[in-house]
Amino acid sequence: MEVIILLVFISVVWVAAALLFLGWQLAKRTHDHTDRVALLPLDTPTDPETTDEHYL
DSSP class per residue in 15-32: HHHHHHHHHHHHHHT-TT
Give the per-residue pLDDT at 42.
Answer: 63
CB-CB contact of 45 with 55 (8 Å): yes
Give the per-residue pLDDT at 9.
Answer: 97
CA 15 to chain centre: 17
pLDDT single digits (tens) 1-56: 899 999 999 999 999 999 999 999 888 876 666 666 676 666 566 665 655 555 55
Give the per-residue pLDDT at 4.
Answer: 95
Give the per-residue pLDDT at 29.
Answer: 76
Give the per-residue pLDDT at 47.
Answer: 60
